[in-house]
Structure 1
Amino acid sequence: MGASQEKNQTLTVRDNRTGKVYTIPIDDNSVPATAFKAIKAPRLPGEREENETEKGLRIADRGFLNTAVIKSKITHIDGDAGVLRYRGYPIEQLALKSSHLETAYLLIYGVLPTKQQHNVFQSEVHRHSAMHADSEEFFRSFRYDAHPMAMLTSAFAYLGSYYAEANPSLEGQNLYTTGTPESLTIMDKQIYRLIGKATTLAAMAYRVRQGREFVTPPHGLSYTGSFLYQMDHLGQEDYRPNPVLEKALDVLFLLHADHELNASCTTVLQTGSSLVDPYSAIAAGCASLYGPLHGGANEAVIRMLISIGKPENVPSFIEAVKRREKVLSGFGHRVYKTSDPRSFIVRKTADEVFKITGKDELLETAMALHEAAMKDEYFIKRKLAPNVDFCSGLIYRAMGFPLDFFPVLFAVPRVVGWLAHWRQMMLQEGGVKIWRPRQIFVGAAKRDYVPIEERSVVTGIKNAPSPIAHSGIMKRTMLGTFKDKPLTKL
């Protein structure tokens, strides 16, 4: 880049409040948000002091629509062109030629492994997949109807209690940030443990819901083969999961391994920026994924299709969506504005699965919905194309997984992406800075405390706790007395 070109890599900002002109550098098509702190102005007469006008401008970006918080080499997404690449490799090539564990190596370490490197990585992941015997008691302590994502989230946090050497709070805050051989060895060991035990924890959550004994991870099977074995083995001699289902799950795991700074990945990094242990950070990411706007989307697709019922009900559903009476799940994406490249791979995978499981009874309804939405101007204008969740739920359903287990099948492979970004942040140049976003305070200005006897009633549903209607044992208890006083007056 020439001198004149470098000079042009700046942004000139004129503050019309003061008439001052500021030059802000542009680096990799981004401007530093902190540069705007230099743009200051005197506070206007009557202006709220909470605006902190004299301390510089803040950047308002609700929901992180256009804020970059880290420099990354891991995943590239071009939402307008429908492009997804892991470390530069198109997702289409990886889905066709790679495997989930090989892709995990790529995402975490930046290169495709040699055969020997892959064998070592795979061996370590499987070697660290077994759980301590005490974990059986942990899982048995959950209610019989506990949601598997609640169990999995808790289990990741619980897992960290076993490994004191993995906790920077105990071993020193620079445990993962020095980049020394010793530090990298400790980091890699936790990566093996988390990837290896993710399937084991998920299978244990599955088995406890089924009322079955837990299964020790087997030797000699693939990552997804071992997962299916742990969920389904009931004592049969030489049991092997169906290879078509094993491969399909591996492809789906690969597709879900990473997706840049989505909500759960950002949660992992936000949590990890305090230099907490990786198990706590992964548990936080799992909790974020639990939400229906994120990991619960493929489950929502199936519930939507069930509610529609038959293909002939699709037109009325479409009209209800337009009237905002119904929610259309499985279409559109926060990033992709044309098509989700993963959706084409998932549809091909679905065809392979349906050949052996038979077509899902909801498939015709799904296809009718797809066709209707793609021809409707309302959805075309809003660029609402099918995303990865639209067909993946049908595959999971065809494979016999219960609806509430769908988010778990998202979380297990996403552990890889979370770890890749966590590792990158730990080793980034300049060290780790704790994430501390700013806010725009619009609340009350300074006011004086009012004694309780002098306060007036403030009405409004958002200004007081909601009343709770008690029933059953609590209702009976509240009708009793305590030291001759009614319990309801306490």
Structure 2
Amino acid sequence: MGQPTASSSQNSLTVRDNRTGKTIQIPIEDNSIPATAFKTLSATPEKDERKENETSKGLRVSDKGFLNTAVMRSEITYIDGEAGVLRYRGYPIEELALRSSHLETAYLLIYGSLPSASQLKVWEKEVMHHAVVHADAEQFFRSFRYDAHPMAILTSAFAYLGSYYSEANPSLQGQTLFTKGSPDSLAVMDKQIYRLIGKATTLAAMAYRVRQGRTFVTPPTGLSYTGSFLYQMDYLGQENYKPNPVLEKALDVLFLLHADHELNASATTVLQTGSSLVDPYSAIAAGCASLYGPLHGGANEAVIRMLISIGSPANVPAFIESVKKREKVLSGFGHRVYKTSDPRSFIVRKTADEVFKVTGKDDLLETAMALHEAAMKDEYFIKRSLAPNVDFWSGLIYRAMGFPLDFFPVLFAVPRVVGWLAHWRQMMLQPGGVKIWRPRQIYVGETKRAYVPVEERTPVEEAKKTPSQITHSGITKRTMLATFKGAKL
């Protein structure tokens, strides 16, 4: 690293390449530098250096897992992991959870400001109006096995939904369908947003009911977003059926808290997919698939499984020691971004108390409290900033409300559709248009080598470099033992 010259701008970074002695000055804007600036630092390859290093084409920036790479400029969500701060469009999450609703906050995230009374009325009306799905959807959902994972169903359903709306497909309507920002373009975009948010609860409820062997329910009128969701899951023909208002409110708060969380794995997946200018339904389906993973949307489910495995408060000390020895995994503590506490966890903890008043305390609550207390006092966890996150308490709420464990990720995905759409819309309308995302790699494989005829090859026996042998049973085993024309003996 070189020293800035007298003429250097103070708001810049001066870099000296010790291989060549070349110095470059990189402007710092919003406390960031462009990675492409390093492409100018090319050098002559060393003797016997691999050509695949492409040394003469400039430096590449390596950042495995995107630990410190900003891929876009955003106005949506701000997180300060060190201070435990989360804001949607500048509003503290604590204030929104106390005073706002999920749909009002959805408007804020997508359009940038809180709606007026008349704007909110129109917004809620359009979202709820578009909750109804085509009658053909029943056949689609019935095609899944009774034991299919609800996230597999939901992911497929979002992709399936796009097949109905050709006007929302840039492949059919032109590449600038969503990027030109004209009134007609914005209207098409907004209609898909209404549809995706409105139908998210309907698709999720259908995924729930198909596994229960129940008929599907048409979204009701006159209920809130989460009230309609609970109705569609639970209604069995009772007269004047209304979901419990405490559970309805709790779910709305949880939806609001899960609506967005900056460029997490699923949001980034939506943007990566959306950068090809695919239709929004396919992009949302991709995000849903990303959230399906146990390192993302499955975390609250993992918390419950962990608490079940602990069994009782008396077993917490032994579990804590097993975690320290890395024999067990501690779920629901710590966060990729938050280094102190997750601000959402305090809100969820309060919400849990309200839910338990009507459902009764979950059997696992005492174990959860004991684990929480033990971890917060243990130096091992304190040094590693392993405080409870939003998943620690939300799983207990979902369990108390009677949702099956494998439905927990669905309850994460439904509200996160809002955040995905906010980031997708922002990217579509960003200055300069959309560029397809194409990360670089550092190639460390074989250099150029000649093809070897099959009879001259030496077999590779290393486990990771050969396909596994599969044990066959049932009809496959019997068929392999049978004789028939064309059989390989």
Q: If the TM-score is normalised by the length of the shorter chain, which range does it land in? A: over 0.9
Q: Kindly state the Cα deviation for residue 5 of structure 1 after the two structures are TM-superposed.
A: 12
The one of 399, 414, 433 equivalent to 2:416 is 414
Structure 2 alignment gaps of length 5 or more: 1-5
| Residues 212-251 of structure 1 aligned to structure 2 (within 5 Å) | 212-251=214-253
The one of 135, 138, 143 equivalent to 2:137 is 135
Aligned residues: 484
User: Which SS does the other structure have where 2:415 is aligned?
Assistant: helix
| Residues 474-489 of structure 1 aligned to structure 2 (within 5 Å) | 474-483=476-485, 485-486=487-488
TM-score scaled by length of structure 1? 0.98
Q: Kindly state the Cα deviation for residue 6 of structure 1 after the two structures are TM-superposed.
A: 9.2
The one of 68, 71, 81 equivalent to 1:69 is 71
Q: What is residue 302 of structure 2 aligned with on the other side? A: 300
Superposition RMSD on alpha carbons, in Å? 1.0
How far apart in 1 are the matches of 2:370 and 2:219?
Answer: 41
How far apart in 2 are the matches of 1:85 and 1:353?
Answer: 25
Q: What is residue 160 of structure 2 aligned with on the other side? A: 158
Kindly provide the CA deviation profile for residues 232-283 of structure 1, in whole angstroms up to 9, marking residues without a partner as x. Answer: 0000011000000000000000000000000000000000000000000000
Shift in alpha-carbon separation, 1:222–1:337, aligned structure 2, 3 A: same
How far apart in 1 are the matches of 2:144 and 2:246?
Answer: 33
Q: What is residue 172 of structure 1 aligned with on the other side? A: 174
How far apart in 2 are the matches of 1:418 and 1:294?
Answer: 14
Q: What is residue 370 of structure 2 aligned with on the other side? A: 368
How far apart in 2 are the matches of 1:485 and 1:173?
Answer: 51
Q: Kindly state the Cα deviation for residue 481 of structure 1 after the two structures are TM-superposed.
A: 2.6
1:113 aligns with 2:97: no
Q: What is residue 473 of structure 2 aligned with on the other side? A: 471
Query: Which aligned segments of 4 or more residues in structure 1 are displaced greater than 3 angstroms?
Result: none
How far apart in 1 are the matches of 2:461 and 2:19?
Answer: 39
Q: What is residue 358 of structure 1 aligned with on the other side? A: 360
How far apart in 1 are the matches of 2:180 and 2:19?
Answer: 46
Q: What is residue 3 of structure 2 aligned with on the other side? A: none
How far apart in 2 are the matches of 1:412 and 1:62?
Answer: 29
1:336 aligns with 2:338: yes
Shift in alpha-carbon separation, 1:311–1:73, aligned structure 2, 3 A: same
Q: Kindly state the Cα deviation for residue 483 of structure 1 after the two structures are TM-superposed.
A: 1.3
User: Which SS does the other structure have where 1:457 is aligned?
Assistant: coil
| Residues 76-475 of structure 1 aligned to structure 2 (within 5 Å) | 76-475=78-477
How far apart in 2 are the matches of 1:39 and 1:223?
Answer: 54
Worse-matched range after superposition: 409-418 or 460-469: 460-469
Q: Kindly state the Cα deviation for residue 472 of structure 1 after the two structures are TM-superposed.
A: 1.2
Q: What is residue 50 of structure 1 aligned with on the other side? A: 52
- The amino acid of 1:442's aligned partner reads V
Q: Kindly state the Cα deviation for residue 484 of structure 1 after the two structures are TM-superposed.
A: 5.4
How far apart in 2 are the matches of 1:479 and 1:271?
Answer: 46
Kindly provide the CA deviation profile for residues 7-32 of structure 1, in whole angstroms up to 9, marking residues without a partner as x. Answer: 21110000000011110111100000
TM-score scaled by length of structure 2? 0.98
Shift in alpha-carbon separation, 1:482–1:182, aligned structure 2, 3 A: same
How far apart in 1 are the matches of 2:76 and 2:267?
Answer: 12
| Residues 30-49 of structure 1 aligned to structure 2 (within 5 Å) | 30-49=32-51
Structure 1 alignment gaps of length 5 or more: none
Kindly provide the CA deviation profile for residues 63-96 of structure 1, in whole angstroms up to 9, marking residues without a partner as x. Answer: 0000000000000000000000000000000000
Q: What is residue 23 of structure 1 aligned with on the other side? A: 25
- The amino acid of 2:183's aligned partner reads P
How far apart in 2 are the matches of 1:438 and 1:189?
Answer: 35
- The amino acid of 1:74's aligned partner reads I
User: Which SS does the other structure have where 2:9 is aligned?
Assistant: helix
User: Which SS does the other structure have where 1:23 is aligned?
Assistant: strand
Q: Kindly state the Cα deviation for residue 480 of structure 1 after the two structures are TM-superposed.
A: 1.6
Percent identity, aligned pairs only? 81
Q: Kindly state the Cα deviation for residue 476 of structure 1 after the two structures are TM-superposed.
A: 1.0
Kindly provide the CA deviation profile for residues 369-407 of structure 1, in whole angstroms up to 9, marking residues without a partner as x. Answer: 001111111111110000000000000000000000000
- The amino acid of 2:357's aligned partner reads K
Q: Kindly state the Cα deviation for residue 482 of structure 1 after the two structures are TM-superposed.
A: 3.4
User: Which SS does the other structure have where 2:370 is aligned?
Assistant: helix
Kindly provide the CA deviation profile for residues 97-135 of structure 1, in whole angstroms up to 9, marking residues without a partner as x. Answer: 000000000000000000000000000001100010000
- The amino acid of 2:235's aligned partner reads H
- The amino acid of 1:140's aligned partner reads R
How far apart in 1 are the matches of 2:482 and 2:443?
Answer: 46
Q: What is residue 7 of structure 1 aligned with on the other side? A: 9
How far apart in 1 are the matches of 2:143 and 2:375?
Answer: 45
Shift in alpha-carbon separation, 1:484–1:124, aligned structure 2, 3 A: closer
How far apart in 2 are the matches of 1:89 and 1:138?
Answer: 40
